[in-house]
Amino acid sequence: MKIGLLGFGVVGRGVYDILAQRKDISVGTVLCRRDLGELTARTTRDMADIIADPEIDTVVEVMGGLHPAFEYVSAALKAGKNVVTSNKHLLCHYYQELNQLAKEHGAVLRGTAAVGGGIPWLVNLERAARVDQIHKLSGIMNGTTNYIMDAMNKSDVDFADVLKKAQELGYAEADPSADIDGWDIQRKLIISAGVAFGVCLQEEDVPVFGIRNVSAADIRRFQARGLTCKLIASAEKLSDSVAAYVEPKLLGADALEAAVPANFNLISFESEYAGKQSFFGQGAGRYPTAYNVVQDLADIASGVDRFYTDKFQSAATNNAGALHKYYVRTKAELPELEALAAEDWDGAVVTLPVSVAQMHSLLQKMLEVDPQSFIAGL
Ligand code: HSE
């Protein structure tokens, strides 16, 4: 197998290094805007060189972003070349189109590294969905935010300093807002829900609140009550819709997620026969992510000829029935919030059980008045 490698950043370099040790899969050409004089592979700035090369049968897209990744991947599939990508934004946004193109042109599309970095999550979700009814999936799906929350839980560190460290370690997205505001996790949740439930959720329907506003004082309040804060994605299959959302959650010491350190992810599904299964590993970083890219290449080389699912049904997101209490810290004085307040936590409140839909709508009002407001599910 000879590949065209699109992108030579953190993950691209990792893929290149791992493949340099193999004889069965080699890098033919690297597409990169920078000068990469030290490489033994050919380099180009023109995707047409890769498309036109009959020796390149598979393209690895690790550039990130929607454009030109979508155009490049589409061109590769139309030319009958297999595609392996780690790009969750691309897979979330263009899941159906790309899968359709792959089918039409007899190519294979895989993207295991797009969710959970080095964890074999999507491949196992695919295996579970083919024999079992998956009801629920949830967990920690972002290495950067877990790294930040873990550091803030362990010592009195500055949010910006820890984020900078996560960027230096190659965990964060080019725009770290994708991590800390939860968009990266939302995309991973939508891809996972697609594989698990055979549904297509729309990005604009899945509410997201990240950890940008969490403060040292919030963490002290949680610790005083034996709780740990983690950014969690959840999706549950309902009869004709899906409850799906991303928000910080307060966990007791008995929750597996509470103990997840550094850049690790822990993602679980619950199904009828298998019960609950959890997958733990490094969710971000050069070699863990590159490892799953190379696993996909090895799968294709050994004859895997499909994507994870081709059962796509549009499904509405419905968070009206997902009820729990919330920790709320805001300077906004809203009558709806006062009506829900049940406990005072030294300057913050804990609400009565309220739906995710209602709380995320209330949150928008809070943020208009106090942009530093913070909420976490309990
Ligand atoms: N920025 C992502 C994360 C990279 O921190 O999890 C892996 O998808």
Work out the average pLDDT over 101-129: 96
Let me know: does 328 contact 349? Beta carbons within 8 Å: yes
> In this structure, which residue's CA is closest to atom 1 in ligand 1?
172
Q: What is the pLDDT of residue 2?
A: 98
- Whether pTM exceeds 0.95: yes
Q: What is the pLDDT of residue 285?
A: 94
Q: What is the distance in A from the centroid of ligand 1 to the CA of 172?
A: 6
In 59-117, where does DSSP find H-type helix? 69-78, 88-104
Give the binding-site residues of ligand 1, using a 6 Å CB cut-off: 117, 142-144, 171-173, 179, 184, 283-284
Instruction: Calculate ∠ Cα 251-253-257, nearest 5°.
Output: 55
Is residue 273 predicted with pLDDT exceeding 90? Answer: yes
Regarding the domain delimited by 2-110, which CATH topology (the fold level of the hierarchy) does it fall under? Rossmann fold (3.40.50)
Among 87, 49, 51, 63, residue whose Cα is nearest residue 8: 63
Q: What six digits make up the tokens of 198? A: 């055979």
> In this structure, which residue's CA is closest to atom 7 in ligand 1?
284
Residues 289-299 pLDDT 10s: 999 999 999 99
Residues 28-81 pLDDT 10s: 999 998 888 778 899 999 999 999 999 999 999 999 999 999 999 999 999 999
Q: In whole angstroms, what is the distance from residue 291 CA to residue 170 CA?
A: 15
Name, in order, each residue with C-beta under 8 angstroms of 85's C-beta and a sequence gap of 6 or more: 60, 61, 62, 69, 73, 91, 109, 110, 111, 113, 114
Out of 119, 146, 171, mutate this one to test ligand 1's pocket (max ligand atoms within 8 Å of CB): namely 171
Looking at ligand 1, which atom is closest to the CA of residue 113?
8
Q: In whole angstroms, what is the distance from residue 357 CA to residue 318 CA?
A: 8
Beta bridge partners of 61: 6, 85
Q: What is the pLDDT of residue 216?
A: 93
Q: What is the pLDDT of residue 307?
A: 75
- Where exactly are the structural domains of the chain? 2-110, 121-282+315-319, 321-378
Beta bridge partners of 229: 250
Q: What is the mean pLDDT of the chain?
A: 96
Question: What confidence tier does 251 reach under pLDDT thresholds 50, 70, 90?
Answer: very high
Is the model more confident about 163 or about 308? 163
Catalytic residue flag (residue 188): yes
Written out in words, the top-level CATH class of the domain with range 121-282+315-319 is alpha beta
Q: What is the pLDDT of residue 103?
A: 93
DSSP secondary structure letters along 187-217? HHHHHHHHHHHSEE--GGGS-B--STT--HH
Is residue 265 predicted with pLDDT exceeding 90? Answer: yes
Is residue 365 predicted with pLDDT exceeding 80? Answer: yes
Is residue 368 predicted with pLDDT exceeding 80? Answer: yes
Q: What is the pLDDT of residue 37?
A: 75
Let me know: does 30 contact 39? Beta carbons within 8 Å: yes
Q: In whole angstroms, what is the distance from residue 258 CA to residue 354 CA?
A: 23
Work out the average pLDDT over 5-32: 97
Work out the average pLDDT over 10-17: 97
3-state class of 248 per DSSP?
Answer: strand
Q: What is the pLDDT of residue 40?
A: 83
Catalytic choice (81, 188, 230, 237): 188
CA atoms within 13 A on the CB side of 350: 14
Is residue 312 predicted with pLDDT exceeding 80? Answer: no
Work out the average pLDDT over 97-121: 96
Looking at ligand 1, which atom is closest to the CA of residue 146?
5
Lowest-pLDDT choice from 29-33, 300-304, 311-315: 311-315
Residues 129-183 pLDDT 10s: 999 999 999 999 999 999 999 999 999 898 999 999 999 999 998 889 999 999 9
